[in-house]
Chain A
Amino acid sequence: GEDVEQSLFLSVREGDSSVINCTYTDSSSTYLYWYKQEPGAGLQLLTYIFSNMDMKQDQRLTVLLNKKDKHLSLRIADTQTGDSAIYFCAERGQAGTALIFGKGTTLSVSS
């Protein structure tokens, strides 16, 4: 079956880079997503990457995809306290319908 795994916690200092990692099992996934959820709020789509890409950069965000190892990472440069949130990795399931989410990584940024 489809499964998405993430580490649960990451703590960094303001100004440092954060790297959040994710592994997935469905090799037929064509799109992989990163969502951010602040406390009490809904999910905000941060970025996504198509499976034929290795890297995608969007301002402070860099997504790396290793399709052979089924490994996805999100790098946040110059991490700010406002980046503190839960970050969910997600893939679209085989049926092509709803997203399969990882358990989320709680990013804590200290000043």
Chain B
Amino acid sequence: DTEVTQTPKHLVMGMTNKKSLKCEQHMGHRAMYWYKQKAKKPPELMFVYSYEKLSINESVPSRFSPECPNSSLLNLHLHALQPEDSALYLCASTQAVTLNNEQFFGPGTRLTVL
């Protein structure tokens, strides 16, 4: 199983809503990532978890709150988002946070904030 799954595929939310994005992998990977991708742009790193601990936060606003409940799951909790936060949110995983690992991406959640 070399798959990273993400739910939901699409999400529409208002600026006062609270929602969560979910990511799951069963490859035994111990590093998981959240990226944000705007249309026609490359993915931008948001967070990195290594062994269920947050190791990198790329100065992401606090309205995005990541959580890694176990080694297979990664969540992104959303609250009070802005319309400019509308984007494709990609989850990825690697065996570990080192130089020589393939990074597998999920299909993404397309988020629209009204």
Contacts and interface: CB of A to CB of B under 8 A. Distances in A.
B45 A44 contact: no
Of the four ranges (under 10, 10 to 19, 20 to 34, 35 or more), the interface on chain A belongs to 20 to 34
Contacts of B11: none
Interface stretch (A10-18, A58-66, A92-100): A92-100
Contacts of B41: 103-104
B104 A41 contact: no
A99 B97 contact: no
Nearest to B34: A98
Interface of A: 30-31, 33, 35, 40-45, 48, 50, 86, 88, 92, 95-99, 101-104
Interface of B: 6, 31, 33, 35, 40-43, 45, 48, 55-56, 88, 90, 92, 97-100, 102-108, 110
